[in-house]
A = this chain, B = another copy of it.
Amino acid sequence: MGNDALTTERGRHTYEEITSQPEVWAQTLTEAHQKLDEVRAFLAQGMDDALFIGCGSTYYLALAAASLLQRLAGWRARGLPSSELWFYPEAVLGPARRPLLVAVSRSGTTTETLRAMEAFKAHGGSDVAVVTCYPDTPMAQVAQVVLSAPAAQEKSIAQTRSFASMYVLTQVLAGLAAGDDAYLAQLDRLPDAGRALLDNYSDLAERLGSDLGIDRAFFLGSGIYYGLACETMLKMKEMSLTYAEAFHFLEFRHGPKSMVNESTLVIGMVSDSAREHEVAVLREMRGLGARVLAIAEEGTAEELGGADFVVTLNSGLPETARGVLYLPLLQLMAYHRSMAKELDPDRPRNLDLVVHL
């Protein structure tokens, strides 16, 4: 089979991009290691305030990264859609504050993010970092610091390894901001842990993804995992056109749980810090008839709310370091659901590779 045939095989790119992640994370970390001194020097200006922006997947990455930076380094950080900074720069920035702007863009060419960067500079902002898969774009050229993951570039529209690899880059950024060398060293264990997960649980991802008795999926995560829950939700939606939503764990009780029924799958990204309360939500949703998939560092089905399906990460890493491990199996589940519905995960309905306005 020649390359031309490969590129037209349904779902081929997405599958390859998801399953190649552990190697791509390793390459991304190797590349990032070469920039540690440069980024450290940049951060040594004494910043403690950051605004992460992005669109779609990278907006969710902005949420996840801001939360992680705040948690690890004590910075004040928030994630926003690029359009919010573009449309309302005064309201976002305030009269006197000029945070470090971290613009996240797979392509480096997303119009809204470029406009937001211009608005930031027009309102007196100067410090800009870019996280991207393409280090040579105009977006990267206006940044003081560029963290890039060229090995993670993709042919598919839905971001999978690009999201995960850019998230790893923001982990490096947060570790540097915190001055936490032990944390940075822990990240090197992610590729092996990711490989083990794909080895052990790909069958489960295929089984759940192929189960068309499920017709709605809810992704729950708190704290630093909320943005990751949003992103895996978006994958399910984009690739498989499935009713999918993401919530902070306890928020799900305040209204949204009304949508739970017998054909519901609830996916819980269980943390360590709030585990007891998160597991209580999973148990309650099971009581309402949902099937439950719990992903946690460790634990039995009974310890995880009576979950129907359990993925244990067994990474040995603290919750702040292991976030990216929650992604690949859920991306794979979305891929298999897309295939089972006879859609093409490489080319989701209505969507374009990059949104240019």
Interfacial residues, chain A to chain B (CB-CB below 8 A): 55-57, 59, 67, 70-71, 74-76, 78, 81-84, 87-88, 90-92, 94-97, 112, 158, 216, 222-224, 234, 237-238, 241, 243, 245, 248-251, 253-260, 273-274, 277, 280, 288, 348-351, 355, 357
Contact = CB atoms under 8 A, between A and B. Distances in A.
Contacts of A260: 350
A83 B258 contact: no
Given A70-B92, A74-B95, A91-B67, A257 B84 contact: no
Identical subunits present: 2
Given A259-B241, A350-B260, A57 B87 contact: no
Contacts of A67: 91
A55 B257 CA distance: 13
6 contacts: A57-B255, A74-B95, A75-B94, A78-B78, A87-B277, A91-B224
Contacts of A255: 56-57, 158, 234, 237-238, 348, 351
Nearest to A348: B258
Contacts of A82: 250
A350 B250 contact: no
A259 B254 CA distance: 24
B273 A258 contact: no
Given A70-B92, A256-B237, A258-B348, A251 B97 contact: no
Contacts of A87: 222-223, 273-274, 277
Given A87-B222, A87-B223, 9 more contacts: A82-B250, A83-B277, A84-B248, A91-B224, A237-B255, A243-B243, A243-B259, A258-B351, A277-B357
B350 A223 contact: no
Contacts of A223: 84, 87-88, 91
A96 B70 CA distance: 12
Given A237-B255, A255-B234, A256-B237, A94 B74 contact: yes
